[in-house]
Amino acid sequence: MTTPALLPLSGRRLPPLNLGASAFPHHRATLRLSEKFILLLILSAFITLCFGAFFFLPDSSKHKRFDLGLEDVLIPHVDTSKGGKNLGGFLIHGQGHDEHRHREEEERLRNKIRADHEKALEEAKEKLKKSRDEIQAEIQTEKNKVVQELKKKDSKPLPPVPLPNLIGIHSGEPADPDIREKRNKVKEMMKHAWDNYRQYGWGHNELKPIARKGHSTNIFGNSQMGATIVDALDTLYIMGLHDEFREGQEWIDKNLDFSVNSEVSVFEVNIRFIGGLLAAYYLSGQEVFKIKAVQLAGKLLPAFNTPTGIPWAMVNLKSGVGRNWGWASAGSSILAEFGTLHMEFVHLSYLTGDPVYYNKVMHIRKLLQKMDRPNGLYPNYLNPRTGRWGQHHTSVGGLGDSFYEYLLKAWLMSDKTDTEARKMYDDAIEAIEKHLIRKSNGGLTFIGEWKNGHLERKMGHLTCFAGGMFALGADGSRDDKAGHYLQLGAEIAHTCHESYDRTALKLGPEAFKFDGGVEAVAVRQNEKYYILRPEVIETYWYMWRITHDPKYRQWGWEATQAIEKYCRVSGGFSGVKDVYSSSPTYDDVQQSFFLAETLKYLYLLFSNDDLLPLDNWVFNTEAHPLPVLHLANTTLSGNPAYR
């Protein structure tokens, strides 16, 4: 008998196992047995391998399911009797069953899709039988339902918070009949502006008082957001024009909607709408204003989604997409825009208990603190992608102004506890005084503009607010320089008054120069207009409150008369194109800030100090009063959510 050959898995024939029987004659039978045993072992290993492959190779049926887009259709029951194993809720089948079940499942789905299509087709046929009007009515009903649902969601009541001390919202009646008469005159002007807007521009952002129709600019986007209504509310309230206030409230309640596909200025919407709504809320206690302010603020938040957290200048209220003004240096955001959010955002956090608003503005502050400032000055442009300054232009007028104002007011509004803001203000003002403030040959103090290392000896109407700011910040200034800053405020007020006094209409131009023999006078034709701006009157009012020097009331009255004489038309009030021409042409715009600021500051100028006292109220840059948060040692709020 020949020794059986071993057939290995590879199929190659191996030589017979020849251990030399003669060497172990008594083991011959034993060796045959071991060969069989090895053969058995190899066979059983082979069978185990086949089983392993069967269970562990990927289940192709799964891929098939995925390709069909049915990966989320799980077989609903577990039938282990048919070879299925229940592993943590998922069913694993024997392959044959699996394919069968999936075929069934696909068939079931196909039938369902067919049935759905047929149903949709039937419905479409039914629809087509209806008239166009019926279809439109149905669509409208559906839309209304969605809007109502959204409204319900948005109008959730906010958690109650202790209201700050609201002092002096109904007083201010002067005893002096002459002053009372002046105050009444200002109130009558407000009524004229409001009534005409009510009649010809209601719901539009602003009024064209000559064309007698609505007006808007790109800062408000393309929607009718009733900017004049929101901006005017608190002025109406403090003047005691309660019917008008109620009309405004009703419009806001029913019509002010922020779910619009409209690209707005974050800054303007903040100072006019959020500031206006918050002030109206604090004065009247009407919840609707608070709710609207919070809804709107939510729509502005996507503007902060930039690589640095410095917000875009504009945001689309619906899509949340933001971008910057095309004219701004190297795609930059503007200092006066992203730096004028603090007051409103702190109040939003206070009222909602949600720190998100506070965190956004504090992030901006921290970022600015870390940056180098050329000559200690803040440039007007900052790129929100790179976090780098754009052109090295610095201004206390347009593009820079209210950034400085809000540093001071953050400190005041925190009951003077936000010392970080006060320090930033003091540092900034010192650098401004050193590099931007000069005296003209004729002895007029002016604030110029810093452009790449050079001082442009030109001052804007907007810059005139700084007189009031210096006076307001005098108390609490570094090195006890209160007297110095009060004096500086008085000098700026004087210069700005001169810019009014040197015109034919006794109204100030947009910008005026101190160069080549010219003093406080506009040179370029496109700087000669007056658009009902408030800044000069704002400074008169602060100077009056702080010094009680009667000349400020006198100057304020001159301006009131000039506005009445040259800007009043039968359809409201209009800006004028050339203050040096005694026969003015109108720009035909009644700006919303005329009602929010110019007329409010005039009214306050002829009121007693107990109306909105400065110890209790801080005015935002659009003259909307917000209460001081008297909360020791916190820059934020007394809202329990923060404690």
Amino acid present at 193: A
* Residue 268 known to be catalytic: yes
Minimum separation from the CB atom of position 483 to ligand DMJ (A): 28
State the nearest-atom distance from the C-beta of 159 to ligand DMJ, in Å.
31
End-to-end CA distance of the chain: 99
Could you tell me the two tokens for 566? 């040259």
How far, in Å, CA of 509 to CA of 579, rounded?
6
- Please identify which residue in the block is written with the tokens 């702080």: 546
| Residue 417, marked binder | no
Out of 98, 449, 510, 538, which one is annotated catalytic? 510
Q: Active-site residue 173, yes or no?
A: no
Give me the least distance between CB of 218 and ligand DMJ, in Å please.
14
Using Cβ positions, the residue closest to ligand DMJ within the complex turns out to be: 621
Torsion of CA 129, 132, 138, 143, to 10 degrees: 140
CB nearer ligand DMJ, residue 288 or residue 472: 472
List the Cα angle 380/385/391 in 5-degree steps: 30
Binding site for ligand DMJ (CB under 6 A): 402, 462, 533-534, 593, 597, 621-622
If you count them, how many residues does the chain have?
643
Q: Is 535 a catalytic residue?
A: yes
Q: Give me the helices (H) in 567-626, please.
A: 592-593, 599-605
Write out the E strands in 426-465: 437-439, 445-447, 449-451, 454-456, 458-460
Rounded to a whole number of angstroms, the minimum distance from the CB of residue 139 to ligand DMJ is: 39
Q: Whose Cβ is closer to ligand DMJ: residue 354's or residue 405's? A: 405
The two beta strands, 90-92 and 85-87, are antiparallel
Shorter beta-carbon distance to ligand DMJ: residue 449 or 622: 622
In the block, residue with structure tokens 């002007």 = 189
Nearer to ligand DMJ, 496 or 631 (CB): 496
Q: How far apart are CA 194 and CA 595, in angstroms?
A: 8
Which amino acid belongs to residue 640? P
From the list 234, 263, 268, 354, the catalytic residue is 268
Of 98, 231, 401, 519, the catalytic one is 401
DSSP SS3 for 323: strand
Task: Examine the residue annotation and report whether 564 is marked as an active-site residue of this protein.
Answer: no
Q: Residue 330 CB: number of other CB atoms within 10 A? A: 14
The β-bridge relationship of strands 445-447 and 437-439 is: antiparallel
Catalytic residue, candidates 535, 538, 578, 588: 535
CB of 612 vs ligand DMJ, minimal distance in Å: 17
Choose among 334, 351, 237, 323: nearest CA to 642.
351
Least distance CB 522 / ligand DMJ (angstroms) = 16
Which of 102/533 has CB closer to ligand DMJ?
533
Of residues 415 and 530, the one with the C-beta less far from ligand DMJ: 530
- Which residue ranges make up the annotated binding site for Ca(2+)? 621
- Which residue ranges make up the annotated binding site? 621
Question: Which residues are identified as catalytic?
Answer: 268, 401, 510, 535
